[in-house]
Every structure is written in C-alpha cells, then in structure tokens.
Structure 1
Amino acid sequence: MDTGLQGKTVLVTGAASGIGRATALAFAREGAHLRLIDIDAAGLRETEASASAAGVSVTIAVADLSTAQGVEKGIADVFSGENGKLDVLVNNVGIVDAQPFDSLTDAHWQRTFDVNFLSNIRMTRALLPRLRESRGSIVNNTSDLARQPETIPADYAALKTALVSVTKSLARAEAPHVRVNAVAPGPVWSPLWSRPGGFADTLSEVHGMPPRQAVDHEMKLRQLPLERMGEPEEVADIIVFLASERASFVTSSVWGVDGGSIRSLF
C-alpha cells in the first residue's frame, strides 16, 4: 500500500522509547524524514540511529516539553532555526504516575497537565502555520482511558479526555486544510508500564503481586477481549495510516488500538 509519505517531513514528540520510537521507525520505513524531540538524550540517539538506517534524514532535539521554553527550544533545534517544512505532527509525549486518587497531590495533577496536555497545545499552536501551508495532518496520542476511565490513574485519564476534545475541536477549526485525528491505545507494553516505578510496579503494590503478574491480573479485571497487552508497533501502524494519504477522508476521528477494551457504541 502506497502511503504517500515518501519524502514528507514528520515531527514526533516523545520519540526516545515506546510508542514514540516505534512511530518514528514506522515513518522512516515509509521514507519520511524525521524531526524527533524527547527529554531522554540517550534514548533519542538510539532512535536516531535506528531510523537513519532506513536512509532518511533525522534531526533530534533534547528538550523538556512540559515548559513553554522547552517547546520553543525543541522546535528551533529540530528545524535548525529555519522555517522548515512540516507535513505531519505526532503529539505523543506523555507520562503517567499511576497513583490512587487520594494519593494524587496538586503537584501530580499539575505535572500531568503540563506534560500530557499543555505540551500538545503549545506544539500544535506553534506548528499550525507550517501544517496549513503543507495541507498536512496531526495525530494525537490519547488513551482508551479517555473514553472508559479506570480507578487508576484519574489525572492521566482526565487529561487524555481533554485531548480528545481538543482533537475534535481543532479538526473542525482547521478543515479542510489540516486533518486532525487521534489514536486511543489500550494497555501497551511500553516504558510507561515496564520502567522501574512505572504502571506495572504500581499495580504490583495495588494487587500484591509481582509486576507482570499484576498486569495480567489487571487485564483480567478489565476483561480485555484479546487477553493481552498491545505492542508499540501496533499503535505506530495506525498513526502512520492516519497521517498518510490513505486516510485522506479521515478527520476528527479517535481510533481505538485497545484490544477491544471499549465496550460502548460511541
């Protein structure tokens, strides 16, 4: 299938690991040139090396996108101070500190707001002029928890819900020149889950089990039809499709990549 992404320029945030890295590599395989931003310098360099092997140009920037200054720096660095062309923006950066509701302090809520929501708003606002010029597209990484919240983590789910709303508002505002869509991954085995202190470790404490056993137990509690966690590459494939010419009549959509976790009709 020809995606029409050959020679396009794609910016991916949170590209050092997990879904972000898988997405960068998927675009590289389609022949797209990459602009990658993350706070993790070592991970970002690993992504750069893997993507460059596909024969595309890759520019990286280490930046903290939770601040306005970090967003400005990241954009300036990946475009080398030039007003370079941009065809696709993938807002992927995100964190989760999976705590029970009564353990979430104001600082937890503010951090989640800054990283998972406001970074997206700032990146999108700054790059919209380039995307309008190229008649490009935006893909936001949300979550199945935006449409079907669980008890943990409430702050993460709330801000992902807000991002779904922004996706739909922006899709209407920018039509017909810029398409705006979102993916809503379910449980995906990425560093958000597997890293020390990540979601798996939190569930281990909650359920009193070893981390991976606790994750499997959580999937049973959620009655996930496919009975397994997803892989980052499975989300990346949908992101590439939504950004491609194969999805030219798709905008304002929220594509579940969730193993069937969402039960509602809408």
Structure 2
Amino acid sequence: MDTGLKNRIAVITGAADGIGRSTALAFAREGAHLGLLDINAAGLESLAAEARELGVSVHAAQADLSTAEGVSRGMQAVQSSFGNRLDVLVNNVGAGAIRTFDDLTDAAWDATLGLNFMSYVRAIRCALPILREHGGVIINNASDLARQPEPVPIDYSVSKAAVLSLTKALARAEGPRIRVNAVAPGPTWTPFWTKPGGFAETMGRYHKMEPRAAVEHEMKLRQLPLQRLGTPDEVANVIVFLASDLASFVTSAVWGVDGGSIRSMI
C-alpha cells in the first residue's frame, strides 16, 4: 500500500539510536526526507549516511534536547535546511532509570520531565507555525507505563502520562489541519535499556540481579502475553503508519506497541 510519505519532510528527535534510528530509516525507505536531532553527534552522522544511501535528503543537528535553547536551535537548524517545510514531527527523545519514589530528588524529577515532556512541548512549539499553515502530523512516543504504571520508574511513568495528556489536548486544539497521535511502546530492547546506567543496569540493582536476568524477571512479573521485549523496528512501523495517509482518519489515538502489557479494555 502507498503510504503517501514520498518527498515529505519528517523531523525526529532522539534519532541517533534505538526507536528513533529505526523510525528514521523506516521513513527513508518510504521516500521521506529527514531532519534528525540528537545529542549524539557520531550516531547522527552514521544514521544520516545510511539514510542517504536510500536516496533521501537528510539534515542532522546535534542538540541537547533537555534544554529550551537546545530544542530551539536544533529545530530551527533542520527546519531552515528544508526551507521551513515540515510535514511530520516525531517526538521520540527520552531517558529513564529505575528509581523508587524515595530515591527521587527535585532535581531528578526536573531532569526527567525536562527531557521526556518539555522537549516535546518545545519541539511542538517550534513546529506548529509551519504545520498550521500547511497541515501535518505530530506523533509522540509515550510508553505503556503512561497507562499502567509500575512501582518503578515512577518519574518516567509520570512524564509519559503527561505526554498522553498533551497528545489528546493538542489533537482537539489543532484539528482538522493537524493530526496528533501517540505510540505507547512496551519494553523494547534498545540502548535506552542496555546503555550504562540505563533501564537494564538500574533494574538489576533494584532486583539485586544481573541486568539481563533482572529484565527477564521483570517481564515475568508483567505477564506479557508475547513473553519477550519488542524491537525498535516494530515500534517504527507503527509510527510510520500513523504518519501516513493510511491513517488519515486517526487522531487523538494512543497506539500500544507493547506485547499485550496493557490489560484494560480502554
């Protein structure tokens, strides 16, 4: 089926690794041109080279998306590179660690919300003037933990719940010109989990196990029907669908890509 994404401009935050990287390459395979933002300059360079081999234009900007200035500069850089054209914004950047409520200081809360939520707010603020004029799509990467929180990581869950609220409110505020949806991935085996200090390592400390064993233990506790972690490509496929003409009547939706972790009817 034709997605209608050929020659459209897709901007992706947190693009260098994991779901962001897979999403960028999935858009490139559909013929979309890419604006890529991440703090990881080497990862961006590698991704840009791979995407260009697929025949699309790519503009990448290194940016610290945890700050207002970083988001603003990064978005302005990629938007201006495409002559202030923009069709799709994918807010994907995020970070988290396994910490109990008692472990979390005000500074830790501010850091989590600053990157996982306020970066979305700031990127959308930069994109809206263009999207309002020409129409387009916003897709926010949330989490199954936004809808079904676990004891840890509580700050991450709260930040992602805020993303869902933002998604729903913007879909009502910006329709019919702009469609706004969210994906809510379950546990997905990416550098977000595997990097030093990431979910796997900190989950190991929480459960007093080796990181991989701790992750497997956590999946058993969550009773996932598919009994495994997801892959970045599996999330990227849904993001590309939501951005495409195939989803032209889909807005204000939260699409779970979670292996069946959400048990509620709604």
Are 1:203 and 2:190 an aligned pair? no
Are 1:117 and 2:104 an aligned pair? no
Moved more, 205-214 or 151-160: 205-214
Q: Secondary structure at the match of 2:201?
A: helix
Q: Which whole-Å CA distance do the structure 1 matches of 2:229 and 2:79 have between them?
A: 36
Alignment correspondent of 1:136: 136
Q: Secondary structure at the match of 2:19?
A: helix
- Asked if the contact 1:98–1:153 (Cα under 8 Å) also holds between the matched residues in 2, the reply is yes
Are 1:23 and 2:23 an aligned pair? yes
Give 1:66 shift. 1.4
- Asked if the contact 2:79–2:86 (Cα under 8 Å) also holds between the matched residues in 1, the reply is no
Aligned positions, number: 266
Q: Which whole-Å CA distance do the structure 1 matches of 2:122 and 2:186 have between them?
A: 25
Alignment correspondent of 1:166: 166
Q: Secondary structure at the match of 1:164?
A: helix
Gaps of 5+ in 2: none
Q: Secondary structure at the match of 1:255?
A: strand
Q: Secondary structure at the match of 2:51?
A: helix
Alignment correspondent of 2:179: 179
Alignment correspondent of 2:149: 149
- Asked if the contact 2:26–2:240 (Cα under 8 Å) also holds between the matched residues in 1, the reply is yes
Alignment correspondent of 1:251: 251
Letter in 2 for 1:102: D
Q: Which whole-Å CA distance do the structure 2 matches of 1:39 and 1:244 have between them?
A: 27
Hey, which bits of structure 1, 4+ residues long, moved more than 2 A? 79-83
- Asked if the contact 1:76–1:82 (Cα under 8 Å) also holds between the matched residues in 2, the reply is no
Report 1:221-236 matches (<5 A). Answer: 221-236=221-236
Q: Which whole-Å CA distance do the structure 1 matches of 2:213 and 2:53 have between them?
A: 36
Q: Which whole-Å CA distance do the structure 2 matches of 1:203 and 1:81 have between them?
A: 41
Alignment correspondent of 1:101: 101
- Asked if the contact 1:3–1:245 (Cα under 8 Å) also holds between the matched residues in 2, the reply is yes
Moved more, 27-36 or 194-203: 194-203
Are 1:127 and 2:127 an aligned pair? yes
- Asked if the contact 1:139–1:183 (Cα under 8 Å) also holds between the matched residues in 2, the reply is yes
Moved more, 202-211 or 244-253: 202-211
CA RMSD of aligned residues (A): 1.0
Give 1:82 shift. 6.9
Listed one character per residue, the Cα deviations across residues 202-232 of structure 1 (whole Å, up to 9, x for unaligned) are 1111222211111011000010110000000
Q: TM-score, normalised by structure 1?
A: 0.98
Q: Secondary structure at the match of 2:139?
A: strand
Q: TM-score, normalised by structure 2?
A: 0.98
- Asked if the contact 1:204–1:211 (Cα under 8 Å) also holds between the matched residues in 2, the reply is yes
Listed one character per residue, the Cα deviations across residues 69-98 of structure 1 (whole Å, up to 9, x for unaligned) are 111110122134675110000000111122
Q: Which whole-Å CA distance do the structure 2 matches of 1:81 and 1:250 have between them?
A: 29
